[in-house]
Amino acid sequence: AQKITQTQPGMFVQEKEAVTLDCTYDTSDPSYGLFWYKQPSSGEMIFLIYQGSYDQQNATEGRYSLNFQKARKSANLVISASQLGDSAMYFCAMRAFSFGNEKLTFGTGTRLTIIP
């Protein structure tokens, strides 16, 4: 079974500062993917960044980067130069790729609030 742990229920960050959202995962499957999604108050789940278990480099997408430490089973999201529009819920999720385990398992989320 897969498990995602997000230990920060809420965070307050000053605008323009960098922020790190923590995520640890647990799986026995060697082939998996890690995702970060943003969910604003409207409810839509917006894809931010993806890291495959065999990827050698940390994923980056604009202001988002994923700090992937495979041995520690952590996949922290780093947002550089935060903006007011970054205020939202952030979910870490993983998906294993063995048959029957391919569902997306989500963490409990971190509510990020950017302070002007």
Partner 1 sequence: KAGVTQTPRYLIKTRGQQVTLSCSPISGHRSVSWYQQTPGQGLQFLFEYFSETQRNKGNFPGRFSGRQFSNSRSEMNVSTLELGDSALYLCASSLGPGQGPSGANVLTFGAGSRLTVL
28 is a site residue for partner 1 (CB under 8 A)? no
CA dihedral for 26, 32, 36, 39, sign (positive or negative): negative
26-51 exposure pattern, b = at least 16 Cβ within 10 A, e = fewer: ebeeeebbbbbbbeeeeeeeeebbeb
By DSSP bridging, strand 74-79 and strand 60-61 are unpaired
49-78 binders of partner 1 (CB under 8 A): 50, 52-55
37 is a site residue for partner 1 (CB under 8 A)? yes
By DSSP bridging, strand 10-14 and strand 110-115 are parallel
In the complex, what is the shortest distance from the CB of residue 3 to partner 1, in angstroms, rounded to a whole number? Answer: 12
The residue with tokens 């063995």 is: 98
Contact track, partner 1, 2-21, x by CB under 8 A: --------------------
40 is a site residue for partner 1 (CB under 8 A)? no
Chain residues binding partner 1 by CB under 8 A are 31-33, 35, 37, 42-47, 50, 52-55, 91, 93, 95, 97, 99-100, 102-106, 108-109
